[in-house]
Structure 1
Amino acid sequence: MKRLLASIHDVSPRFEGEVDRLLDRLAPHVGQRLAMLVVPDHWNAAPITPAFTRRLRAWADAGIEMFVHGWSHLDDSAHRGAAALKAKHMTAGEGEFLGLDHTEALARMRRGKALVEEATGRAAAGFIAPAWLYSDDARRALGDAGFVLAEDHAKVWRPDTGRVVARGPVITWASRSHPRQLSSLAASALLRRLLQPSETVRIAVHPGDVRVPQLLDSIDRTFAAFRRHVPARYADLLAPPAARASSTD
């Protein structure tokens, strides 16, 4: 069985309307078999409200997986070398965990995990850093925080053992500038072809996507291209390899 893992990033009261639109857009393709990446306090200006907590609980009760997506999604670190290049070119000041040391990364992870788990009444599905960017210390902190899954742009892995449970690039889109829109449209078109043989395909959408009709059309085409991949849960990746193989027989 080939799996399709869908996710909505930046789930926050700040983007509640956009999240609703994305849910409606993805429903014909995956129903509610998807993941949400929850930002506890987006840019330190949009904390989770009681009303939004009730929505998170309802979505989780419906079977949507809830990941912790940083704490603020805001990069407040000073960077040098390769990290500075990543911070400048791979995200617009939102790689929150790219420059954090172990102590600070662990503290933010634990706070986010506690908030999401209290809101939903169940264990967090895992942790995914904003912009998929981690410092080495942040990667080490994942296991200490007790997360069972983590993801970057190239893979999904178990922080407790380091075992990689899925490989391959995430198909995603960039909306913040016209050149980035064009490059993400080209990349998604290419990946729709290249990833057809993959056992696990990941597709991630963001609130900004709803403001660009061309991106929405590309999202629809991408999901349609993987209609032979079955919408699945990230938790399915936690099964031992032999068990996963037997489930495809």
Structure 2
Amino acid sequence: MAEAALTLVLHDVAAETWPDYQPFVEAVDAIGGVPITWLVVPDFHQRNPLAQQPAFRRVLDERVQRGDELVLHGCYHADLEPAPKTPKDWFMRRVYTHEGEFYALDQQAAGERLARGRELFSHHGWPLHGFVAPAWLMSKGTRRALASSGLTYTSDPSHLYLLPDFLPIRAPGLVWSARSSWRRGVSWLVSERQLRHSRQAPLLRLGLHPVDMRHEFSRRYWLQVLERLLRDGRVPLTKIDWLRQYRSSSAVA
């Protein structure tokens, strides 16, 4: 692929996180020409079902019409499974995160949640190509369910994966931990290092979270790094549009 690209990705998208994102999205829209990939949670923490949020659904309708991409980001973005039984699982599900919804699911349970998400997107006329597991944590059962889901791709912090074979495509992602000032400082250092080391990457992903928007330092950084990458010539694309170009160029090669 001739041109280096970037994707701007909003995680944990729901009616309750939209007020965090709205000023930032308006600032991005003011730049012009930057499509956004929205990771949509159908019922955030079981307190925000999209079925009961007509105003926010209209926001998503408008974003699709603008050329943005909506991606399925779990169903609840919360780990609701029985308590972990091993030290490793306890660490992953109680220390690392409480939101690894698909970490402990078997194939049947994962398939049922994927089907519910696909049904929701279909009902509202939203094209669906990708799935991103909350906290990027997927059980073996989830991977098997994804392989038979008919979806095009999934991802983790450093790769996109073409389904059904989980073909890895290097796509470095910048992500912050912004809950405290020291975390924001470390995140800045790590992101700048990643940018230096990823200059030759065909695709660079900016992965934003609602908490990033609640602090001026992190919010300003994301806007500035977006503008910097655009000045450097990176082409802004949604994930699916970049993957279409990737597959097209691979077929030609």
TM-score higher than 0.5: yes
Give the structure 1 partner of residue 118 of structure 2: 113
Quick check: 228-237 or 33-42, which moved more? 228-237
Question: What's the secondary structure of 1:196's corresponding residue?
Answer: coil
1:29 CA drift (Å)? 5.4
1:137 matches 2:144 = no
Structure 1 counterpart of 2:101, from 89, 96, 101: 96
Structure 1 pair 22–157 and aligned structure 2 pair: CA distance change class (3 A): same
Runs of 5+ consecutive residues of structure 1 not aligned to the other structure: none
- CA RMSD across the alignment: 2.3
Provide the C-alpha distance between the structure 1 equivalents of 2:247 and 2:148, rounded to a whole number of angstroms: 27
In structure 2, relative to structure 1, the CA distance for the partners of 1:240 and 1:59 (3 Å cut) is: closer
Determine what percentage of the aligned residue pairs are the same residue.
28
Q: Is the 1:117–1:123 contact (alpha carbons within 8 Å) kept by the matching residues of 2?
A: yes
Which residue number in structure 1 is paired with residue 11 of structure 2? 9
Aligned residues of 1:32 and 1:62 also touching (Cα < 8 A):
no
Q: How many pairs does the alignment contain?
A: 245
Q: Which residue of 2 aligns with 1:173?
A: 176
The answer to whether the Cα contact below 8 Å between 1:95 and 1:130 also exists between their aligned partners in 2 is yes
Q: 1:170 to 1:47 in 2, by over 3 A?
A: same
Q: 2:57 aligns with which of 50, 53, 56?
A: 53
Match of 2:248 among 225, 229, 243: 243
Is contact 1:97-1:134 (8 Å) kept?
A: yes
1:219 aligned onto 2:225 = no
- Answer yes or no: is the 8 Å Cα contact 1:189–1:222 preserved in 2: no
- Helix, strand or coil: the match of 1:67? strand
Among 202, 206, 211, the residue aligned to 1:208: 211
Preserved CA contact (<8 Å) 1:65 1:233: yes
Distance 1:246 1:157, change over 3 A: closer
Shift of 1:3: 1.0
Q: What amino acid sits opposite 2:91 in the alignment? A: L
Q: Is the 8 A contact 1:192 1:225 kept in 2?
A: no
Q: Which runs of 4+ in 1 moved over 6 A?
A: none
Distance 1:27 1:240, change over 3 A: closer
Deviations 1:68-92 (A, max 9, x none): 000000012333343433334443x
Map of 1:148 onto structure 2: 152
- Aligned counterpart, 1:68: 72
Distance between the aligned counterparts of 2:213 and 2:178, measured in 1? 9
Contact 2:34 / 2:237 at 8 angstroms: preserved in 1?
Answer: no
Q: Unpaired runs of 5+ in structure 2?
A: none
Deviation by residue 1:50-101 (Cα, 9 ceiling, x = unmatched): 222222111111111000000000012333343433334443x111111111
- Write the distance in 2 (CA, Å) between the matches of 1:140 and 1:30: 39
Q: Deviations over 1:195-225 (max 9, x none)?
A: 1111110111111111111111221232233
